[in-house]
Protein backbone atom coordinates (compact mmCIF):
# COMPACT_ATOMS: atom_id res chain seq x y z
CA UNK A 1 0.00 0.00 0.00
CA UNK A 2 1.43 3.34 -1.07
CA UNK A 3 1.34 6.32 1.30
CA UNK A 4 -0.56 9.48 0.55
CA UNK A 5 1.54 11.67 -1.75
CA UNK A 6 0.80 15.37 -1.92
CA UNK A 7 2.47 17.67 -4.43
CA UNK A 8 3.38 21.06 -2.96
CA UNK A 9 4.87 23.89 -4.98
CA UNK A 10 8.52 24.35 -3.89
CA UNK A 11 8.46 28.15 -4.18
CA UNK A 12 4.86 29.07 -3.30
CA UNK A 13 3.55 26.26 -1.07
CA UNK A 14 -0.23 25.91 -1.01
CA UNK A 15 -1.46 26.61 2.56
CA UNK A 16 -4.20 23.95 2.38
CA UNK A 17 -1.68 21.24 1.53
CA UNK A 18 0.83 22.48 4.10
CA UNK A 19 -1.92 22.22 6.74
CA UNK A 20 -2.66 18.67 5.61
CA UNK A 21 0.98 17.61 5.96
CA UNK A 22 1.28 19.24 9.37
CA UNK A 23 -1.91 17.55 10.60
CA UNK A 24 -0.40 14.19 9.67
CA UNK A 25 2.65 14.97 11.80
CA UNK A 26 0.56 16.33 14.69
CA UNK A 27 -1.67 13.23 14.60
CA UNK A 28 1.30 10.92 15.10
CA UNK A 29 2.30 10.23 11.53
CA UNK A 30 5.73 9.78 9.94
CA UNK A 31 6.22 12.09 6.96
CA UNK A 32 8.85 12.30 4.21
CA UNK A 33 9.35 15.93 3.25
CA UNK A 34 11.70 18.03 1.08
CA UNK A 35 14.50 20.25 2.35
CA UNK A 36 17.33 22.27 0.82
CA UNK A 37 19.53 19.16 0.87
CA UNK A 38 17.31 16.36 -0.38
CA UNK A 39 14.46 14.60 1.41
CA UNK A 40 14.15 14.03 5.15
CA UNK A 41 11.85 11.89 7.26
CA UNK A 42 10.34 13.23 10.47
CA UNK A 43 7.65 13.13 13.12
CA UNK A 44 6.49 15.14 16.12
CA UNK A 45 9.00 15.60 18.93
CA UNK A 46 6.95 13.57 21.43
CA UNK A 47 6.19 10.74 18.99
CA UNK A 48 8.23 7.81 20.33
CA UNK A 49 6.61 5.24 18.03
CA UNK A 50 7.30 7.52 15.08
CA UNK A 51 10.95 7.74 16.08
CA UNK A 52 11.15 3.94 16.32
CA UNK A 53 9.71 3.68 12.80
CA UNK A 54 12.29 6.16 11.50
CA UNK A 55 15.09 4.15 13.15
CA UNK A 56 13.87 1.06 11.29
CA UNK A 57 13.68 2.91 7.97
CA UNK A 58 17.20 4.30 8.37
CA UNK A 59 18.64 1.27 10.22
CA UNK A 60 20.23 3.54 12.84
CA UNK A 61 21.01 3.01 16.51
CA UNK A 62 21.00 4.99 19.76
CA UNK A 63 24.31 6.66 18.91
CA UNK A 64 22.83 8.50 15.94
CA UNK A 65 22.44 12.26 16.27
CA UNK A 66 18.79 13.02 15.61
CA UNK A 67 18.04 16.52 14.40
CA UNK A 68 15.51 19.07 15.53
CA UNK A 69 14.46 20.91 12.39
CA UNK A 70 13.44 24.45 13.40
CA UNK A 71 12.09 27.48 11.58
CA UNK A 72 14.74 29.75 13.14
CA UNK A 73 17.04 30.01 16.17
CA UNK A 74 14.46 31.58 18.49
CA UNK A 75 13.92 28.31 20.38
CA UNK A 76 17.57 27.31 20.45
CA UNK A 77 18.03 27.89 24.19
CA UNK A 78 15.15 25.50 24.93
CA UNK A 79 16.97 22.58 23.35
CA UNK A 80 20.69 23.27 23.27
CA UNK A 81 23.57 24.87 25.15
CA UNK A 82 25.74 27.02 22.91
CA UNK A 83 28.49 29.60 23.47
CA UNK A 84 28.11 33.20 22.28
CA UNK A 85 30.79 32.66 19.62
CA UNK A 86 29.06 29.58 18.24
CA UNK A 87 25.66 31.26 18.33
CA UNK A 88 26.92 34.21 16.31
CA UNK A 89 28.27 31.83 13.66
CA UNK A 90 25.02 29.87 13.57
CA UNK A 91 22.94 33.02 13.27
CA UNK A 92 25.09 34.26 10.37
CA UNK A 93 24.69 31.01 8.42
CA UNK A 94 21.07 30.09 9.03
CA UNK A 95 18.83 29.28 7.37
CA UNK A 96 21.15 27.11 5.33
CA UNK A 97 22.46 23.68 4.48
CA UNK A 98 24.04 22.94 7.83
CA UNK A 99 23.36 20.60 10.72
CA UNK A 100 24.81 21.73 14.04
CA UNK A 101 25.68 19.20 16.76
CA UNK A 102 25.09 20.81 20.15
CA UNK A 103 24.94 19.88 23.82
CA UNK A 104 21.32 19.06 24.60
CA UNK A 105 19.36 20.62 27.44
CA UNK A 106 17.03 18.74 29.80
CA UNK A 107 14.12 19.81 27.60
CA UNK A 108 15.23 17.28 24.98
CA UNK A 109 13.90 13.75 25.56
CA UNK A 110 16.79 11.40 26.34
CA UNK A 111 15.74 9.07 23.53
CA UNK A 112 16.56 11.83 21.02
CA UNK A 113 20.05 12.46 22.36
CA UNK A 114 23.22 10.75 21.28
CA UNK A 115 23.55 8.08 23.98
CA UNK A 116 27.26 8.66 24.51
CA UNK A 117 27.64 12.44 24.24
CA UNK A 118 24.15 13.69 25.19
CA UNK A 119 24.06 15.83 22.06
CA UNK A 120 21.36 16.78 19.58
CA UNK A 121 21.45 18.02 16.01
CA UNK A 122 19.79 21.31 15.10
CA UNK A 123 18.95 22.51 11.61
CA UNK A 124 17.26 25.56 10.07
CA UNK A 125 16.62 24.71 6.40
CA UNK A 126 16.38 27.27 3.63
CA UNK A 127 13.43 25.76 1.76
CA UNK A 128 9.96 27.25 1.40
CA UNK A 129 7.98 24.03 1.96
CA UNK A 130 9.91 23.14 5.11
CA UNK A 131 9.61 26.64 6.51
CA UNK A 132 5.87 26.70 5.81
CA UNK A 133 5.39 23.37 7.57
CA UNK A 134 7.35 24.49 10.63
CA UNK A 135 5.43 27.76 10.82
CA UNK A 136 2.13 25.89 10.70
CA UNK A 137 3.25 23.32 13.28
CA UNK A 138 4.65 25.93 15.72
CA UNK A 139 7.24 23.38 16.90
CA UNK A 140 10.40 21.65 15.70
CA UNK A 141 10.20 18.37 13.80
CA UNK A 142 12.22 15.40 15.02
CA UNK A 143 13.99 14.48 11.84
CA UNK A 144 16.82 12.82 9.98
CA UNK A 145 17.98 12.95 6.38
CA UNK A 146 16.41 10.17 4.33
CA UNK A 147 19.64 8.31 3.69
CA UNK A 148 18.69 4.67 3.23
CA UNK A 149 20.92 1.80 4.40
CA UNK A 150 23.95 1.39 2.17
CA UNK A 151 23.68 4.89 0.69
CA UNK A 152 25.76 8.00 1.37
CA UNK A 153 23.38 10.70 0.14
CA UNK A 154 19.72 11.54 0.82
CA UNK A 155 16.93 10.36 -1.44
CA UNK A 156 15.99 12.96 -4.05
CA UNK A 157 13.05 11.60 -6.09
CA UNK A 158 9.64 11.29 -4.38
CA UNK A 159 8.45 8.60 -6.79
CA UNK A 160 11.49 6.45 -6.03
CA UNK A 161 10.98 7.07 -2.32
CA UNK A 162 7.41 5.80 -2.60
CA UNK A 163 8.65 2.62 -4.28
CA UNK A 164 11.41 2.02 -1.73
CA UNK A 165 9.79 2.85 1.61
CA UNK A 166 6.21 3.82 0.84
CA UNK A 167 4.77 1.14 3.14
CA UNK A 168 6.78 2.49 6.08
CA UNK A 169 5.55 6.10 6.14
CA UNK A 170 2.18 7.83 6.29
CA UNK A 171 2.77 10.64 3.80
CA UNK A 172 5.27 11.83 1.22
CA UNK A 173 5.37 15.56 0.55
CA UNK A 174 6.42 15.85 -3.09
CA UNK A 175 8.44 18.99 -3.65
CA UNK A 176 9.96 17.78 -6.91
CA UNK A 177 13.24 16.05 -7.67
CA UNK A 178 15.94 17.66 -5.52
CA UNK A 179 19.74 17.73 -5.40
CA UNK A 180 20.95 14.76 -3.36
CA UNK A 181 23.77 16.17 -1.26
CA UNK A 182 23.66 15.95 2.54
CA UNK A 183 24.13 18.91 4.84
CA UNK A 184 27.50 19.99 6.16
CA UNK A 185 27.71 18.85 9.79
CA UNK A 186 29.30 21.22 12.30
CA UNK A 187 30.09 19.94 15.81
CA UNK A 188 29.92 22.68 18.46
CA UNK A 189 29.07 20.47 21.44
CA UNK A 190 32.41 20.82 23.23
CA UNK A 191 32.86 24.54 22.67
CA UNK A 192 35.24 23.92 19.78
CA UNK A 193 34.10 24.09 16.17
CA UNK A 194 34.72 20.98 14.09
CA UNK A 195 33.52 20.11 10.61
CA UNK A 196 32.40 16.47 10.85
CA UNK A 197 31.10 16.18 7.30
CA UNK A 198 31.50 18.43 4.28
CA UNK A 199 28.29 18.55 2.30
CA UNK A 200 26.07 21.09 0.58
CA UNK A 201 26.83 23.96 3.01
CA UNK A 202 30.13 25.78 2.51
CA UNK A 203 32.42 24.60 5.36
CA UNK A 204 34.88 27.48 4.96
CA UNK A 205 33.33 29.83 7.59
CA UNK A 206 33.76 27.09 10.21
CA UNK A 207 37.34 26.13 9.39
CA UNK A 208 39.05 29.31 10.61
The residues spanned by each domain of the chain are 4-206
> What is the predicted pLDDT for the residue at 107?
85
**CATH topology (fold) of 4-206:** DHBP synthase (3.90.870)
Q: Where are the alpha helices (DSSP H) in 93-127?
A: none
Task: Write down the mean pLDDT value for the chain.
Answer: 93
What was the pLDDT predicted at 193? 94
Q: Is the peptide bond before 184 cis (omega within 30 degrees of 0)?
A: no
Give the percent of the chain with pLDDT over 90. 81
Q: β-strand 4-7 against 171-174: which pairing, if any? A: parallel
Residue 143's pLDDT is 94
Report the predicted TM-score, pTM, of the whole model to 2 decimal places. 0.93
How does residue 1 score in pLDDT terms, banded at 50, 70 and 90? low
3-state DSSP call for residue 35?
strand
Residue-level pLDDT at 3: 87
Amino acid sequence: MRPEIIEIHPVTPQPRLIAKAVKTIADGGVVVYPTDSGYAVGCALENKKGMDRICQIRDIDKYHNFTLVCSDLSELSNYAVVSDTCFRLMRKHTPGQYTFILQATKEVPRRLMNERRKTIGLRVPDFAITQAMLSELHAPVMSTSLILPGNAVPESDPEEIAEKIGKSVDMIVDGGVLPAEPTTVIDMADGEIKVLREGSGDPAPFLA
